[in-house]
Amino acid sequence: MGRYILRRLGFYLIAAWASLTLNFVIPRLAPGDPAAAMFARFEGKVAPEAMGALKAAFGFTDAPLYAQYLTYLKHLVQGDLGMSYAYFPARVSEVIGTGLMWTVGLAGVAVIISFVAGSFLGVLAAWNRGGWLDSGLAPALAFLGAFPYFWLAMLALYLFGFVLGWFPLRHAYGHDMEPGLSFAFAADVARHAVLPASSIVVATLGGWMLGMRNTMVATLGTDSIRLAHARGLPPRQVMLRYAARNALLPNVTSFGMAVGFVLSGSLLTEIVFSYPGTGYLLILAVRNQDYPLMQGLFLVITLAVLAANFAVDLLCLWLDPRTRAHA
Amino acid sequence: MRFARALLPLALLVACSSEPRPRPPGVLFVSVEQQSAWVRNFNPLFAGAGARWPTRAGVYECMEIFSSAQGRWVPWLATGHAWSEDQLTLRFHLRDGVRWSDGKPFTADDVVFTFHLLKQHAALDAGGVWRFLTDVKAETQGTVAFTFSRVYLPGFSDLAHQIIVPQHVWKDIADPVTFTNPEPVATGPFTQVTLFRNQVYELGRNPHYWQPGKPAVSALRFLAFPTNDQANMALVEGEVDWAGNFVPAVDRTFVSRDPAHHARWFPLYGSTVFLYPNTTRPPLDDVRVRKALSMALDRDRLVEVAMYGYTRPADATALNDAYTGWKDADVAKDAWTRYDLDAANKLLDEAGLTRGADGLRRLKDGQPFTMDLEVVSGWSDWVRAGQVVGRDLRKLGIGVTLKTYEFGTWFTRLQKGEFQLAISWSLDGPTPYNFYKWLLSPRTVRPVGEVAAANWHRMGDAQADELLMRFERAGTPEEQHALMSQVQRRFSAVAPAIPLFPNPSWGESNSSRFTGFPTEQNPYARLAPHAEPDSLLVLTELSPRER
């Protein structure tokens, strides 16, 4: 088993290197000149004579690609992500720092809630096939999930924030709050997170529920479950420990992916609810051809996807004795 | 179900505690920049880079301020200036008793130091002042003398508007270009960063401000809004006191909600938007063709569709309303910017571009006359303008395809002259000198393939340039106005680019908590907070109703 884990680790290291390299190459293949885009935002406020000096200040070089690549790797190892063009002269790490925690917090919690609740509802729906949960809630959630997210979020904001005034209209916490480890601040953050988090949950719950329900239905038809029933085990134990545990595996795998993609940002959530986060930074980086910021964000996303998948591998190892046998 | 029942009280608890937060009295809420999170940067010297507003006109200050709304210079850190007899030396007389926010006195040495910084770090010299300067020195504690390499009177505005930084702080900064200046020491009304978080920052009063009793506003607070929609919602709800956003149907959505306090003022002080023809590509090198394109445009419709009627069609001088005093009324009446399809058709016939059987006009080599019109994707006002232009030109028998590009790509193509038609802005200044120089002067023409700061249409007129060079040396207002009239005549004759409409300068105010915003009746500055350095005039004028 130790060898299995080591092998997986090795695989993830190679995958990390490959994606870091792609991360370096792809922005450089894109059309357009970042220096020109930079210059553009000054709308003629900068004399053309200042352009050369400007390029030097931004660190644009004409060095050969392999040299740029080596510098890139060296800086990465040192944890230096460079200077953002769009937020010049702020460091990329500082820019990402403004949103990373909030994205992880909001989208992470929302994805976990959605996964746990969706899977549980799926189990119940399959167990009571044809019940109101199965024939009522499941289609209703699938219906909600099919709405464009943007529209759903705007509607929630308008209804619960603007018209009813139950929840704040924007931001992760009130602008007069002192961030810190106080109960008041935590309550304020929670209050601000309700609308954005529930909009994500509502939009994704149906997917988890349906996925879980379908594998559960298949599992329930297997001989092992029939045997468990025949042996007179309590139904709750059959449902959770025998059927659900087996049916959960595919869902756990997709959960790994979903957690990884949390960081690429719930862009629309952030825009609708003015929530700080990395999704908005990513779109801004693309618009401004801010390569260092783009690379920094992709790096964070890549590492998160890989780490999440590694965690899922370990989780499957625990959930599924068969993987242990192969390992 | 037990789960849901457990959640219900929690949800109610959370919901009930939501009331509009009281806002501290005297704190002005402003929405200028649109960002999802704030990054701490108060570097005033690096123009246009990511410094937080109002670093360049509020935290730091310049020597004199041109108020385009008043059409005059307002003395600021300098009480005045004087040219030498030969017009090669310009002396600024600095104000007595000005102190930096750390209490140290502001002197001529700070001004000299700032200009030397620009010389050492060309990236900071946005106005390119060292193209015409040879020396800067402090003659006394209160007098700075600038020596010019040639007579260049328009250089005054670049010098007067230069932001001044304190020598005793900046002399120790290793690289002033990449310095983020987290704790600014400055002369402006608001210098103390009292709060800086990802969603909000606040600037407090300068304890040593040189205008007694000012600013009356105790602090400026900025909430992060990632897009226009969020900022507009806060404005409509009264959470923001001052903003410079584009608000659709502003009178209905904003002003009518509280007509006594909600106000908007969109004067046409923004840069004129042009349809730029690439004059290096025939037949756009032919003035008859350019004028024909211009006369085919139904500008009334254009401003209605593209700008919701917030502006007016450009006239033949192309000047915006900030230059009303310079405008030559006769030139403005010239016909080539008025809608006249028959005349336009006639001009193209004369130019030898006759219609083919399919209704499309043919170039001299027999190819159909088709062009791409390039705009920035997502800049919806220009995209709509491009659609109207395209439709109007098709009536003239010209095939126009609207192409949208990401900003960077679009701008690179524009700067390098690799386009046929494009919509873009124009450059401004206190006088129309800069505006026409970048439209007409051969000195601003760069070869195709080389990056040009403006004059993207690549057109130079020797006669106009001669007039502009005389303007650089013209000392009296009579002389200046006479020359500028001739320049306008030349512009109208040559038609280097096709003016569409002047841009409004967007500004909205809510006077329920603060008074003193500029209005159409009291136009002491532009209302748009983006308008630098006008914002200094506004920030020192506002005062809270509640104390």
- If contacts are CB pairs under 8 Å, which of residues 125-164 in chain A contact chain B? 162
Searching chain A, which residue's CA lies closest to the CA of residue B3? A117
Task: Tell me how far CA of residue B322 lies from CA of A64, A192, B271, B311, B384, in angstroms.
Answer: 49, 44, 9, 13, 25
B224 and A37 in contact by Cβ < 8 A? no
Specify whether the backbone of A130 is left (phi greater than 0), alpha (psi in -120 to 50) or beta. Answer: left
Q: Can you give the residue range of the structural domain that contains B123?
A: 64-171
Is B417 contained in some domain?
A: yes
Give chain B positions within 8 Å (CB) of A86: 50
| Tokens representing residue A164 in the block | 């009813």
| Tokens representing residue A165 in the block | 């005034």
Nearest to B408 among A36, A42, A274 (CB): A36
CATH number at residue B368: 3.10.105.10
Q: Which of B56, B133, B49, B53 is nearest to B90 (CA)?
A: B133
> CB neighbours of A179 closer than 8 A, spacing ≥ 6?
A173, A185, B197
CB B240 within 8 A of CB B30: yes
> CB neighbours of B175 closer than 8 A, spacing ≥ 6?
none
Give chain A positions within 8 Å (CB) of B46: 88-89
Hey, what amino acid is at B447? P
pLDDT of residue A113: 92
Same-domain status, B279 and B418? yes
Give B143's strand partners.
B93, B140
Same-domain status, B439 and B511? no
Give chain B positions within 8 Å (CB) of A90: 39-41, 50, 180
Q: Which of B127, B109, B107 is nearest to B47 (CA)?
A: B127
Indicate the domain borders of chain A. Answer: 1-78, 92-319
Element containing residue B281 per DSSP (H, E) = none
A39 and B227 in contact by Cβ < 8 A? no
Note the residue count of chain A.
327
Whether the CA torsion A265, A271, A273, A275 is positive or negative: it is: positive
Domain ends where: B114, B143, B171? Answer: B171
Angle at B503 between CA B501 and CA B505, to 5 degrees: 155
Q: Which of A94, A98, A106 to mutate to test the interface with B (most CBs of B within 10 A)?
A: A98
Provide the 3-class DSSP secondary structure of residue B283: coil
Task: Measure the CA–CA gap between B297 and B353, rounded to whole angstroms.
Answer: 18
Domain ends where: B144, B171, B198? Answer: B171
Element containing residue B29 per DSSP (H, E) = strand B27-31
pLDDT of residue A37: 62
Looking at the 3D structure of chain B, how many domains does it have?
3
Q: How far is A242 from chain B (nearest CA, A)?
A: 23
Element containing residue B229 per DSSP (H, E) = helix B228-236
Q: Which of B36, B162, B233, B439 to mutate to test the interface with A (most CBs of A within 10 A)?
A: B36
B37 and A276 in contact by Cβ < 8 A? yes
B438 and A44 in contact by Cβ < 8 A? yes
| Tokens representing residue B510 in the block | 């809510």
Same-domain status, B130 and B46? no
Q: Pairing mode, if any, of strands B421-424 and B370-376?
A: parallel
Pick A92-319's CATH classification: 1.10.3720.10, 1.10.132.20, 3.10.129.10, 3.40.50.12240: 1.10.3720.10
Question: Can the peptide bond before residue B215 be classed as cis, meaning omega within 30 degrees of 0?
Answer: yes
DSSP symbol at B257: G
Nearest to B43 among A50, A89, A102 (CB): A89
CATH number at residue B33: 3.40.190.10
Going residue by residue through chain A, which has 327 residues, state the pLDDT in tens, using 9 for 90 and above.
678 888 888 988 898 889 888 888 877 776 666 666 666 555 555 555 566 666 666 666 667 778 888 888 888 888 788 788 778 778 888 888 888 888 888 888 898 999 999 999 999 998 888 888 888 888 888 888 888 888 888 888 888 887 888 888 888 888 777 777 788 888 888 888 899 888 888 888 888 898 899 899 888 888 888 888 888 888 888 888 888 888 888 888 888 888 766 776 577 888 888 888 888 888 888 777 778 888 888 888 888 888 888 888 888 888 777 777 665
Q: Which of B248, B323, B245, B250 is nearest to B499 (CA)?
A: B323
Same-domain status, B483 and B367? yes
| Tokens representing residue B102 in the block | 């750390």
pLDDT of residue A55: 67
Going residue by residue through chain B, which has 547 residues, state the pLDDT in tens, using 9 for 90 and above.
333 444 444 444 444 334 455 678 899 999 988 887 888 999 999 765 678 999 999 999 999 999 888 888 999 999 999 999 999 999 999 999 999 999 999 999 999 999 999 999 887 887 789 989 999 999 999 999 999 999 999 999 999 999 999 999 999 998 888 898 999 999 999 999 999 988 899 999 999 999 999 999 999 999 988 878 888 888 988 889 999 888 888 899 899 999 999 999 999 998 899 999 999 998 999 999 999 999 999 999 999 999 988 999 999 999 999 898 999 999 999 999 999 999 999 999 999 898 888 889 999 888 999 999 999 887 788 899 999 999 999 999 999 999 988 777 788 889 889 999 999 999 888 899 989 999 999 998 989 988 787 899 999 999 999 999 999 998 888 999 999 999 999 999 999 999 999 999 899 999 999 999 999 999 999 999 988 888 999 999 999 986 5
Same-domain status, B257 and B278? no
Note the residue count of chain B.
547
Is B15 contained in some domain?
A: no
Task: Measure the CA–CA gap between A43 and B543, rounded to whole angstroms.
Answer: 33
Whether B221 and chain A come into contact, CB under 8 Å, resolves to: yes
Task: Measure the CA–CA gap between A8 and A315, rounded to whole angstroms.
Answer: 13
Q: Pairing mode, if any, of strands B133-140 and B143-148?
A: antiparallel
Nearest to A89 among B121, B128, B177 (CB): B177
pLDDT of residue B147: 97
Task: Measure the CA–CA gap between A11 and B522, rounded to whole angstroms.
Answer: 70
| Tokens representing residue A74 in the block | 């060296």
Task: Tell me how far CA of residue B502 lies from CA of B299, B428, B441, in angstroms.
Answer: 12, 12, 21
Q: Which of B23, B28, B36, B20 is nearest to B222 (CA)?
A: B28
Rg over CA atoms, chain B: 26
Cβ contacts from A onto B, under 8 A: 177
DSSP symbol at B123: G
Tokens 């995958």 identify what position? Answer: A15
CB B108 within 8 A of CB B101: no
Task: Measure the CA–CA gap between B507 and B531, rounded to whole angstroms.
Answer: 10
Whether B375 and chain A come into contact, CB under 8 Å, resolves to: no
Whether B409 and chain A come into contact, CB under 8 Å, resolves to: yes
Q: Which of B54, B29, B87 is nearest to B472 (CA)?
A: B87
> CB neighbours of B1 closer than 8 A, spacing ≥ 6?
none
Nearest to A47 among B127, B227, B230 (CB): B127
Same-domain status, B128 and B189? no
Give chain A positions within 8 Å (CB) of B36: 99, 270-271, 274-277, 280-281, 284
Whether B333 and chain A come into contact, CB under 8 Å, resolves to: no
End-to-end CA distance of chain B: 53
> CB neighbours of A137 closer than 8 A, spacing ≥ 6?
A121, A125, A209
B122 and A49 in contact by Cβ < 8 A? yes
Is B299 contained in some domain?
A: yes
CATH number at residue B153: 3.90.76.10
Specify whether the backbone of A230 is left (phi greater than 0), alpha (psi in -120 to 50) or beta. Answer: alpha
Give B262's strand partners.
B510
Whether B122 and chain A come into contact, CB under 8 Å, resolves to: yes
- If contacts are CB pairs under 8 Å, which of residues 182-241 in chain A contact chain B? 187, 190-191, 194
Question: Can the peptide bond before residue B283 be classed as cis, meaning omega within 30 degrees of 0?
Answer: yes
Q: How far is A178 from chain B (nearest CA, A)?
A: 10
Task: Measure the CA–CA gap between A256 and A251, rounded to whole angstroms.
Answer: 9
Query: Alpha-carbon dihedral of residues B534, B539, B543, B546, nearest 10 degrees?
Result: 130
Same-domain status, B166 and B137? yes
- If contacts are CB pairs under 8 Å, which of residues 261-290 in chain A contact chain B? 270-271, 274-277, 280-281, 284, 287-289
Hey, what amino acid is at B183? E
Same-domain status, B475 and B534? no
B198 and A99 in contact by Cβ < 8 A? yes
Whether the CA torsion B128, B132, B138, B141 is positive or negative: it is: negative
A98 and B39 in contact by Cβ < 8 A? yes
A49 and B46 in contact by Cβ < 8 A? no
| Tokens representing residue A109 in the block | 């919690």
A88 and B15 in contact by Cβ < 8 A? no
Same-domain status, B216 and B349? no
Same-domain status, B334 and B436? yes
Domain ends where: B107, B139, B171? Answer: B171
Give B190's strand partners.
B205
Q: How far is A265 from chain B (nearest CA, A)?
A: 13
B199 and A173 in contact by Cβ < 8 A? yes
Alpha-helical regions (H) of chain A: 2-29, 34-40, 50-58, 65-77, 92-127, 132, 138-146, 149-156, 183-220, 223-230, 235-237, 245-262, 267-272, 278-287, 291-319, 321-326
- If contacts are CB pairs under 8 Å, which of residues 78-117 in chain A contact chain B? 83-84, 86-90, 94-95, 98-99, 102
Give B242's strand partners.
B30, B509
Angle at B211 between CA B205 and CA B216, to 5 degrees: 45
Same-domain status, B261 and B405? no
Give chain B positions within 8 Å (CB) of A176: 21, 24
B36 and A280 in contact by Cβ < 8 A? yes
Same-domain status, B392 and B488? yes
Give chain A positions within 8 Å (CB) of B438: 44
Q: What is the pTM of this model?
A: 0.82
Question: Can the peptide bond before residue A179 be classed as cis, meaning omega within 30 degrees of 0?
Answer: no
Q: Which of B518, B542, B545, B540 is nearest to B244 (CA)?
A: B518
